[in-house]
Structure 1
Amino acid sequence: MADSSVEDMVLNMGPQHPSTHGVLRLELITDGEIVKEVIPHIGYLHRCFEKHAESLTYQQTIPFTDRMDYLASMNNSHAWVMGVERMLGIDKDIPKRIEYIRVLVCELNRIASHLIAIGTYGIDIGAFTPFLWCFRDREHIMGMLEWASGSRMLYNYIWVGGLFYDLPVGFEERCREFVDYFKPKMIELNQLLTDNQIFISRTANVGVIPLDVAINYGCSGPVLRGSGLKYDLRRIDNYSAYPELDFEIPVGKGEMGTLGDCWDRYKVRVDEIEQSVKMIEQCLDRLQKELKRTPEFDPRAKLPRKITPKAQDYYMRAEGAKGELGFYFVTDGRSEIPFRAKSRGPSFNNLSVLPAISQNVMIADLIAIIGSLDFVLGEVDR
């Protein structure tokens, strides 16, 4: 009897698949349940950010930065604003109170982003309760950021030279109450998910990214640190108020399997939440003891009506929730609109490593790998 030939099957995963974390289409070449090749197709959520940035003033572009990584909008606008301030030469003149408020809201937003990453990752693998718990705690942060800025997700709060508005009266006390509430919740989450043997079995030794592969693909953030490299721009570039804060840089250690696997990347995000809580507490201490609000404090800088940096090429980078977020400016020295603004979204590079680490894995394991990369498509397509 002649052997029957078996052809590879081409499967579409997305762009509506619930496990693709946005409108991402993955073309899978499969041999039964084994994935032989993954071909990502992007461009379904094109934000036209760079074209907007080349058509609007620096201040007018801030709301469009929010729409890239819309799960951590504060970090996007912080990077953009710091780039403009350094081109203007006013970065050293920003009041300390403003710097600490910026770090405070950015770290709150980082926790909210990581809670989504952890909660959705759990539900991808089949754990429903952590998803509900993470969104419950994220809702507290959304409420506080809405109180400060007037918006739940797209804030337009950090402006060139300052802030849209000072923190509301009582914000620091309410934030302290949230921290006291949140610490025990993270212990419960670790008991439920991090130490869960089923979760460990689904993530350990799966989707291993060797350190050299992570570096060569330009990975950053928790994806890079999950492979063991202690690389965090908040420490390396020492921008804003971060040099004055005490915090650690969590890295993957291969505790449950191979260094750089899905579990390591997940654990780095869990540990980063704890470090963000530490930073928030330090910011609150400074704001409540030394940098108290005063009637004459004006969070909005007295800038000229037209912001026109000198002619230059300048690259500004910052540690977003997903990794290195960078903006490359080309200015002509005459216009208040940049001649060119190029955005470097960390999710794009983190997604690019997917085909390299997904060969000969099970389809079910591919879901675990996708969730561990934690990309957001608004930042991939830009």
Structure 2
Amino acid sequence: MQTANRLKPFFENIHFQREDNTMTVNFGPQHPSAHGQLRLVLELQGEEVVKARPMIGYLHRGMEKMAENMIYNEFLPTTDRMDYIAATSNNYAYAKAVEELLGLEVPRRAECIRVILLELNRVVSHLFWLATHALDVGAMSMFLYCFREREYALDLIEDYCGARLTHSAIRIGGVPLDLPENWIENCAKFLNNLKKEIDNYEKLLNENRIWRMRLENVGVITPQMAKDFAVSGVALRGSGIKWDLRKEMPYSIYNELEFDVPISNSCDSYGRYRLCIEEMKESIKIIEQVFPKYYESDTQLMSNNPLYVSPTKEDIMTQNYSLMQHFVLVTQGFKPPVGEVYVATESPKGELGFYIKSDGKEYPYRLKVRAPSYFHTALLEELLVGCQLADVVTIIGNLNIVFGEIDR
């Protein structure tokens, strides 16, 4: 009894449970579900996230500064390494910005090839997203099915440019190659098969109760939150805001094509999943509409401007002046007019824009990239608060961020 009385004050000061009893954990940067070198510092109250701090910079590649020390053509293959799941979209956005700076007009056949490649690349990106997102949530079969169709699409891209991941399939002023023989027929077969497989994806997932439990009402992005964080792409349209640069600010030949811009008012992860499925269907429609336009166009592939664009290979091999011109452009580069330009395009992940400021030299004075994944990562600071720890993986995968274009 005397011992108990002596220990009573000691036990009174021990708190076995406190309301502010939180735990801080590191989520990444090596976590397999982090979709890149993302480090999240999470403050947890039990299993609930009460504070989240996304921390980036582990890749520290400095691509924008690299661009300012390269001639314009030299930097184009580096754009592949940003969003490496959608390399052609990066190639196009950069080339389009330089073309605006130079005032180049791209031949029609080149525009047709570009749009085919862009939309095929959009399908590849969405298939990769669905595969990895489903795997994060635990749907192993979907990973295998999506990667199977993705491989067929990559076969087509490889047939065109010789590469599967980092394409460099677009040039400033046009495209380097015409489509190979029977390429369009093979692409049409792939698209017809993809339509059937997308139906199978929906049968597997749309009403799957585990899939819906993991995605519905998880990662809710309100319309106001989407505007506050400059969200774009599927994440924006998933909040009920109908904004697609291909429609609102048409570029290339998109103003000649008929396609819908699907939106969802659910604002959650499930709604964004349904949008990605619908966007793949719309990309198929776009590619099929471009096929006849391709056949109707002439065979010119590059803009005819000797100040900025190399001659054809035939001219380089047969004409001395063309050979010298090509040598100068490759070794010294071209000098664009003094000025600045910003060009925004609709990449698979959202608004991808390039800002270029020229002082009349062969190197950009300033080059900045407006990458959608960067803004979507900032959104995590608010989006993760109040969710469960298991939902963090779902939300990161659902936002489809790629760190090559974040730590640029």
TM-score if structure 2 supplies the norm length? 0.88
1:344 shift after superposition? 0.9
Counterpart contact for 2:88–2:167, Cα < 8 Å? yes
CA contact (8 A) 2:101 2:340 kept: no
C-alpha distance in 2, partners of 1:194/1:324? 27
**Distance in 2 between the 1:298 and 1:264 partners?**
40
Counterpart pick for 1:89 among 103, 113, 134: 103
Look up the match of 1:16: 30
- Name the residue aligned to 2:120: 108
Overall identity of the aligned pairs, in %: 41
1:291 aligned partner: 297
Structure 2 match to 1:180: 192
2:106 and 2:302 in contact (8 A); partners too: no
User: Secondary structure in 2 aligned to 1:159?
Assistant: coil
1:105-139 C-alpha deviation (Å, 9 max, x unpaired): 01001110011111111111111101110111000
Pairwise mapping of residues 54-203 of structure 1 onto structure 2 (< 5 A)? 54-90=68-104, 93-203=105-215
Corresponding residue for 2:222? 210
Matched letter for residue 388 of structure 2: M
Q: How big is the shift at 1:307?
A: 2.5
User: In angstroms, what is the RMSD of aligned CA positions?
Assistant: 1.4
- Local SS of the residue matching 1:162: coil
Say whether residues 1:270 and 2:303 are aligned partners. no
Deviations 1:123-166 (A, max 9, x none): 11111101110111000111111111111111111001111211
Q: Could you list the structure 1 runs, at least 4 aligned residues long, displaced by more than 6 angstroms after superposition.
A: none
Q: Give the CA deviation at 1:300.
A: 6.6
Please state whether the residue corresponding to 2:93 is helix, strand or coil: helix
- 1:201-280 matched pairs, under 5 angstroms: 201-254=213-266, 260-280=267-287
How many residues of Structure 1 are paired with residues of Structure 2 in the alignment? 370
Deviation at 1:308, TM superposition (A): 2.0
- After superposition, the C-alpha distances for 1:80-117 in whole angstroms (9 at most, x for unaligned) are 11111111111xx3111110100100100111001111
Q: Given the superposition, is the C-alpha separation of residues 203 and 150 from structure 1 closer, same or farther in structure 2, using an over 3 Å criterion?
A: same
Residue 239 of structure 1 aligns to a residue whose secondary structure is coil
Q: Is the CA contact 2:107–2:303 (under 8 Å) kept in the aligned structure 1?
A: no
- State the alpha-carbon separation in 1 of the partners of residues 338 and 305 from structure 2: 22
Distance, in Å, in 1 between the alignment partners of 2:231 and 2:116 is 26
Find the counterpart in structure 1 of residue 386 from structure 2.
360
Contact 2:109-2:301 within 8 A present in 1 as well: no
Which residue number in structure 1 is paired with residue 325 of structure 2? Answer: none
2:406 aligns to what SS in structure 1?
A: helix
**Is this contact kept in 1: 2:262–2:275, CA < 8 A?**
yes
Q: By how many angstroms is 1:298 displaced? A: 4.5
Query: Distance in 1 between the 2:144 and 2:42 partners?
Result: 31
The alpha-carbon distance between structure 1 residues 173 and 300, as it changes in their structure 2 partners (threshold 3 A), is: farther
> How far does residue 302 in structure 1 lie from its aligned partner after superposition?
4.5
Report the residue type matching 1:280 in the other structure: I
Give ranges in structure 1 of 5+ residues lacking alignment.
255-259
* Residue type at the aligned position of 1:261: D
